[in-house]
Amino acid sequence: MPDRRRRLHGVDRAPRAAFGALVLAVAALWLPNSVARGEDDPLPSWNDGPARAAIVRFVAETTRPGTPSFIPPAARIAVFDNDGTLWAEQPVYVQFAFALDRVKTLAPGHPEWREKQPFKAVLEGDLKTALAGGDAAIVELVMTTQTGMTTDEFAKTVSDWIATARHPRFNRPYTECVYQPMLELLSYLRANGYKTFIVSGGGVEFMRVWTERVYGIPPEQVVGSTVVTRFEMRDRGPVLLREPKIDFIDNAAGKPVAINEFIGRRPVFAFGNSDGDQQMLEWTAAGTGPRFMGLVHHTDAIREWAYDRTSDVGRLDKALDEAVAKGWIVVSMKDDWKTIFPPKGVDSVRHTTPALPHSLAH
Amino acid sequence: MPDRRRRLHGVDRAPRAAFGALVLAVAALWLPNSVARGEDDPLPSWNDGPARAAIVRFVAETTRPGTPSFIPPAARIAVFDNDGTLWAEQPVYVQFAFALDRVKTLAPGHPEWREKQPFKAVLEGDLKTALAGGDAAIVELVMTTQTGMTTDEFAKTVSDWIATARHPRFNRPYTECVYQPMLELLSYLRANGYKTFIVSGGGVEFMRVWTERVYGIPPEQVVGSTVVTRFEMRDRGPVLLREPKIDFIDNAAGKPVAINEFIGRRPVFAFGNSDGDQQMLEWTAAGTGPRFMGLVHHTDAIREWAYDRTSDVGRLDKALDEAVAKGWIVVSMKDDWKTIFPPKGVDSVRHTTPALPHSLAH
């Protein structure tokens, strides 16, 4: 401290308080423009309403030093489900759409698939029959097409596919079928010193290929389901092999387990959209001090989809009851969001704003 | 950008270049003093020599923008083994010393241990007999004493123990038996935009209790071995239960697997000290672009220990051969380190310096 203070005075010989103001003024250069301008709205795609108000209030209260609700920067852990929370999960999970496309791409090398379910049905475009085998059929399709190669080979396949595949309804890249209001929320939290994580039932190696570019969330902050992976030394060097065996399913009661294993701290902010997120929200809620638990409720059949209690994909039933009972924030896509997706042609929000130094995060 | 530039001129109406200099001067306040002072040495406990020179050269070359060896801040992933690399692992791994102490503490509730190995030998202070059962005995001692409780209960037990237990030879807390030169290296890397991770065979929940305070490494950047953990809703709220079953051993070929699973990027900088780190170093070395692979070689029987090819704890044999063959950096504790441990009475280096904004990390 003596050294630091001496240097501080050495720069301008002004009183400490005046210098502090200058530091803050300069620091404002690193703030996202929307926040730095003060009068501007960091959440422009959110309608005025209770959901938006709850978010803004929570962030304001937890970042004001010297108050009981202040959360130190290191503890500002925010977790987000991915499918249905950050991007569209209808008509099928994107990673399953990827598996279906891979079956078609790989079919010439697998003549036996023409007579074997669920592959036969996929090749004939008969999704209903393909899914008749339930979870076992889904697992077989994903494992057959997304394992048995090195991690580098898999990442390349995902990267190539995600760059060209298009959402069947919106006719744009899947990475453009992300929710603009949630992109703003991620940026808003980060600008206030929150560290944002994905905690998804999706495969972690499927997501990490594009989450940094699309959400500004780096690979080391993506938690997901895993397959068993094996280190192997080859003549040309070491590889990691993805084996056709599930290691961990990061869904439902698995989410708090994965949060504990990967992050090692209890989140203070959690957002999901389905019963698969219920335990993550319960785990977040059970900590002490201020907490934020949010659910995206798909209520907009015109602009996206309307589904909840009886949906096969992203069912929201028990978690909705618990949210209502406990006062968690339920976001109505129809009422709370001005826009759903980013402008067409924009692949995603760019995340070039440097992270805010923790000392300035309040 | 237009908004940002306007604001920039609004503050002092000075030319952009002059303002840039001011920004850098203010930014220097956030730098660790040793780096900010410029003429000072960020690695004062390292002797001049090839190891120190290689570290400084690597950091300088990878943080100079516009050169072929420049590494973007997001890719500056540095991984460190813990036992024997960041703190002393002799005469036994600290987590095993913890297990031995727990056996003694819990013995009054387990009269059957008085007749049952390996517990009987532990209670009689006969470590040799206790270890005669090999890995199975070690696993039994650790599992019996470190599972079967909630994660919160376990963290409390670790926290209480680490605050009072003392190293048998150095008679000071284990958290003071950390290597001062490595603390300096961690800080030096972070001051240059590197993100530091632990990748250890130790239990991740054993380490996370104290790694932030001691090493400045937050829980979400600690990778380690895990036990199966289960979510359970109780009357008073949800808990995570540590079950007496190994989930993953983060050692040897497990280290690249865990790096891929938890971090999701290949490190560019890796430090270990034993054959258990060999695959982590190989995995790091196999990437493209600049790489740093380092081994701590325990050569100092006076100030710490001297051991390598035949040691039961921290054996360094094949990895040493590979390091010599491939030009990895081998740090001789005796020759390269001026001091081994921090000053007595100082629990650890304090890590209050905020992280350097990435935009200033070069």
Residues 6+ apart with CB under 8 A from A163: A173
State the pLDDT confidence band at B26, using cuts at 50, 70 and 90: very low
CB contact under 8 A, B233 and A282: yes
Higher model confidence: residue B320 or residue B34? B320
- pLDDT confidence of residue A209: 98
Structure tokens at A239: 């590889």
Residues 6+ apart with CB under 8 A from B309: B315, B316, B317, B320
How far apart CA B225 and CA B221 sit, in angstroms, is 13
Residue B35 pLDDT > 60: no
State the pLDDT confidence band at B11, using cuts at 50, 70 and 90: very low
CB contact under 8 A, B238 and A283: yes
Q: Considering only CA atoms, which of A114, A130, A110, A133 is closest in space to residue A122?
A: A130
CB contact under 8 A, B261 and A25: no
**How far from chain centre, in Å, is Cα A18?**
41
Percentage of the residues of chain A whose pLDDT score is greater than 70: 84
How far apart CA B169 and CA B109 sit, in angstroms, is 30
CB contact under 8 A, B29 and A22: no
pLDDT digits (tens, 9 = 90+) for B84-95: 999 999 999 999
Q: What is the mean pLDDT of chain B?
A: 88
Nearest CB among B11, B208, B221 relative to A25 is that of B11
CA distance A33 to chain B (A): 7
User: Is the bond preceding B91 in cis, omega lying within 30 degrees of 0?
Assistant: yes
Structure tokens at A204: 């972690």
Residue B4 touches chain A, beta carbons under 8 Å: yes
State the pLDDT confidence band at B194, using cuts at 50, 70 and 90: very high
Residue A13 pLDDT > 80: no
Q: Give the pTM.
A: 0.86
How far apart CA A48 and CA A39 sit, in angstroms, is 16
**How far from chain centre, in Å, is Cα A245?**
24
Mean pLDDT of B320-329: 98
Q: Which of B220, B241, B247 to substitute to test the interface with A, most A CBs within 10 Å? A: B220
Residues of B in contact with A356 (CB under 8 A): 357
How far apart CA B73 and CA A252 sit, in angstroms, is 34
How far apart CA A294 and CA A272 sit, in angstroms, is 6
- Chains A and B form CB pairs within 8 A to the count of 137
Closest chain A CA to residue B267: A220
CB A91 within 8 A of CB A131: no
pLDDT digits (tens, 9 = 90+) for A36-84: 434 589 999 999 999 999 999 999 999 999 999 999 999 999 999 999 9
| ipTM of the complex as predicted | 0.86
Residue B234 touches chain A, beta carbons under 8 Å: no
- pLDDT confidence of residue A359: 31
- pLDDT confidence of residue B347: 55
Residue B334, classified by CB atoms within 10 Å of its CB into exposed (0-12), middle (13-18) or buried (19+), is: middle
In angstroms, the Cα distances linking B276 to A214, B80, B333 are 37, 12, 19
Q: Considering only CA atoms, which of A16, A60, A352, A354 is closest in space to residue B355?
A: A354
The A residues from 331 to 360 touching B (CB cutoff 8 Å) are 354-359
State the pLDDT confidence band at B39, using cuts at 50, 70 and 90: low
The A residues from 241 to 270 touching B (CB cutoff 8 Å) are 253-254, 256-257, 260-265
- pLDDT confidence of residue B89: 97
- pLDDT confidence of residue B346: 62
Helix (H) or strand (E) holding A35: helix A33-36
State the pLDDT confidence band at B135, using cuts at 50, 70 and 90: confident
Q: Which of A240, A248, A293 to substitute to test the interface with B, most B CBs within 10 Å? A: A240
The A residues from 111 to 140 touching B (CB cutoff 8 Å) are none
Cα angle B323, B327, B330 (rounded to 5 degrees) comes to 55
Percentage of the residues of chain B whose pLDDT score is greater than 70: 84
Q: Tell me the one-letter amino acid at B104.
A: K
Residues of A in contact with B197 (CB under 8 A): 220
- pLDDT confidence of residue A346: 62
Q: Considering only CA atoms, which of A23, A55, A85, A339 is closest in space to residue A191?
A: A55
CB B248 within 8 A of CB B225: yes
Higher model confidence: residue A233 or residue B16? A233
Residues 6+ apart with CB under 8 A from A344: A172, A176
Residue A34 pLDDT > 80: no
Residue B3 pLDDT > 50: no
Phi-psi region of B117 (alpha: psi -120 to 50; beta: other; left: phi over 0): beta
Residue A18 pLDDT > 70: no
State the pLDDT confidence band at A135, using cuts at 50, 70 and 90: confident
List b or e across B14-38, with b for residues whose CB sees 16 or more CB atoms inside 10 angstroms.
eeeeebeebbeebbbbbbbbbbbee
Q: Is A76 helix (H, G, I), strand (E, B) or coil?
A: coil
Q: Is A213 helix (H, G, I), strand (E, B) or coil?
A: helix
Q: Where are the beta strands (DSSP E) in chain A?
A: 77-80, 195-203, 222-234, 237-248, 269-272, 292-297, 329-332
Percentage of the residues of chain B whose pLDDT score is greater than 90: 81
Residue B258 pLDDT > 90: yes
Q: Which of A4, A37, A351, A352 to substitute to test the interface with B, most B CBs within 10 Å? A: A4
Helix (H) or strand (E) holding B285: helix B278-285
CB contact under 8 A, A208 and B8: no
How far apart CA B206 and CA A324 sit, in angstroms, is 38
> β-pairing, A222-234 with A237-248?
antiparallel
Average the pLDDT over each of A353-362, B229-238, B253-262 and give the range with the smallest value: A353-362
CB contact under 8 A, B26 and A36: no
Closest chain B CA to residue A206: B264
